[in-house]
Structure 1
C-alpha cells in the first residue's frame, strides 16, 4: 500500500508548519546524528526524509499511529518504531553561551503540558495530569535556548528550576523570571510589602519587566501549535524528546 505524503514542499509546508528549506536543515541535522543508519536490524521501508516528515507530522497534528498508517503506507508498528528511533534525533542541541554573548538577556518560565504517563505527571491546577516544563528563550530573537526535563505538574516553578540544572547553563547571563522565581537568583518583579506600596520607579520597572517577559508567553503559544504539547501520549522520556524536537523546529521556523 502506497502512502499519500512525500517529502515534497507542498506536503511538508502543509503538514509540519515548516518551510521546505527549514525541513531540509532539520533533515541534515538528523542525518549527521546517524538517523540514516539501520544498525543490525532490517532496512527501513521509508527513506530518511519521509521518516523525518512522519515524526514532524506526528508532533504537529498529534494524529494517532493508526491514523498515520494510510498517510505513509506503513504498518502501525513501523510508525511507532520510526517515532521512537528518530524522535530523540530531532532534539534541540543545548549549548552554553559563548563568551561574546554573555551580555544577552534570557527569559525563563514554566508551562504545564497534559500528559498521559502518570509517572512523569501529577494533578495540577490547570489539568488533571500534567508535567511542568521549564523553557529558556533569548529575549531578542525569541529562539529557544534550552529546556529542562519535565517535572510533575504540581511542583512550583522555583522548585523545578532549582532541580533542573538550567542555572548552570545560564552562568554569566541575565535571566528574567516572574514572581514565582523569588530567591532563585533571577531578575524578578518588585514585590509589594505589607503596608508599603511600590515606589513609582518600582512600578515602572515592573511594567517594563512584564513587557519583556511577555515574549516567553508568545513563544509558548507558538510551541503549542505543535499539538503534541497539548496532549502528549508518549511515555517515559517521550515528552522530553517531544519538547526538544518542537523547540528545534520552532527555532528553524524563526530562522528561515
Structure 2
C-alpha cells in the first residue's frame, strides 16, 4: 500500500515543489530519455512502481533528502527497490541541453556554489568548513532559468579554475557573461577593482559596479531556490550522483519557474 502516490495531486506539489502539470512534463522528459529501458513490456524484472510513482520517488528524494530506508515505507516497496529506482531514474532527470547556443544578444550570469558531499573523490575541505564540491551554474539573466550545470570540482578550487575545467565555459557561446571578482583572467565581465594605492574608484566605475551587482544577484536568487531541494545541502550520492542531483534540481527549478506569471509568451524559456 502506497502512502505517497502520483495519483494524489496534492502530494505532488507538497513533496516535489512542482505543480501537477509541471510534474507531468518531468515524467514525459524521463520517459523520452529512458526509452525502451523504461517500457513496462521490456524483458526482465518488472518495476515495483508505475513510471509516475518512480519519478515522484526520485523527486521526493531530492526535495526532502530522506534516506532510502525512510522512503521505502512511504512508497510501499523495499529499500533495495528504492536504491534501484534512484540509480536508474535519477540520471534521466538531468537538465536537457539548450536547443540554441547563446548568442551575442544574450546576457548570462555564472557563479559557483558549494554542495556538501560524502564522496571525497569529488570533494575537498572548503570555506563552508565541510567537504564540498564546487558546482558552476550558468543562468539566463532575464529569466533566471538555468542553462547549464558544470561537472563538480573539488570545493577548494577557485571559481576561475572551476569555470575552465568543469565544462561550463563551452555552454556560454558568444553571450555576454557576468561574474563576480573571483573570475579574473577568464574574459568574463567582472566588477571594477581598485588599483594599488587607489583609495576609491571613479564615480562612473562605482555606477557600473552597482548595476553589475544587481544583475549578478540573480544567480544567488537561483541558488537560494535550488537549495529548497535539500539534497543540495548534504548530498549522500557518490560519483556522478552529485552531478545528476544538481542538474536534476536545476531542471525542476526551471519547470517550477516556468509556471510563474513573469514568464509570458514571447519571453518563453528555450528548454526546461
TM-score, structure 1 as length reference:
0.96
Q: CA deviation at 1:96?
A: 6.2
CA distance in 2, matches of 1:71, 1:165: 38
> Is residue 52 of structure 2 the alignment partner of residue 49 of structure 1?
yes
CA distance in 1, matches of 2:235, 2:74: 21
CA distance in 2, matches of 1:130, 1:166: 19
| SS class of match (2:190) | coil
Change (3 A) 1:170 1:96: farther
User: Aligned to 1:162, which of 151, 161, 164?
Assistant: 164
* Offset from partner CA, 1:31-89 (integer Å, 9 cap, x none): 11126236543010100000000000000000000000111000000000000000000
CA distance in 2, matches of 1:81, 1:188: 44
CA distance in 1, matches of 2:169, 2:69: 41
CA distance in 1, matches of 2:229, 2:171: 26
* Structure 2 partner of 1:91: 94
* Structure 2 partner of 1:20: 20
> Is residue 181 of structure 2 the alignment partner of residue 179 of structure 1?
yes
User: Aligned to 1:68, which of 71, 76, 81?
Assistant: 71
CA distance in 2, matches of 1:129, 1:167: 25
* Structure 2 partner of 1:6: 5
* Offset from partner CA, 1:133-166 (integer Å, 9 cap, x none): 0000000100000000100000100011111222
CA distance in 2, matches of 1:125, 1:42: 45
Q: CA deviation at 1:169?
A: 1.7
CA distance in 2, matches of 1:32, 1:97: 20
Checking the alignment, whether the CA contact within 8 Å between 1:115 and 1:129 is kept in structure 2 is yes
Matches for 1:135-154 after TM superposition, within 5 Å: 135-154=137-156
CA RMSD of aligned residues (A): 1.3
* Structure 2 partner of 1:188: 190
Checking the alignment, whether the CA contact within 8 Å between 1:96 and 1:169 is kept in structure 2 is no
Checking the alignment, whether the CA contact within 8 Å between 2:101 and 2:173 is kept in structure 1 is no
| SS class of match (2:34) | coil
CA distance in 2, matches of 1:102, 1:70: 51
CA distance in 2, matches of 1:96, 1:3: 38
Q: CA deviation at 1:102?
A: 3.7
Q: CA deviation at 1:3?
A: 1.6
Which segments of 5 or more consecutive residues in structure 2 lack a partner in the other structure? 260-272
Q: CA deviation at 1:167?
A: 1.7
* Structure 1 partner of 2:239: 236
| SS class of match (1:247) | helix
Checking the alignment, whether the CA contact within 8 Å between 1:133 and 1:147 is kept in structure 2 is yes
> Is residue 115 of structure 2 the alignment partner of residue 113 of structure 1?
yes
| SS class of match (1:34) | helix
Which segments of 5 or more consecutive residues in structure 1 lack a partner in the other structure? none
> Is residue 210 of structure 2 the alignment partner of residue 207 of structure 1?
yes
CA distance in 1, matches of 2:29, 2:176: 30
TM-score, structure 2 as length reference:
0.90
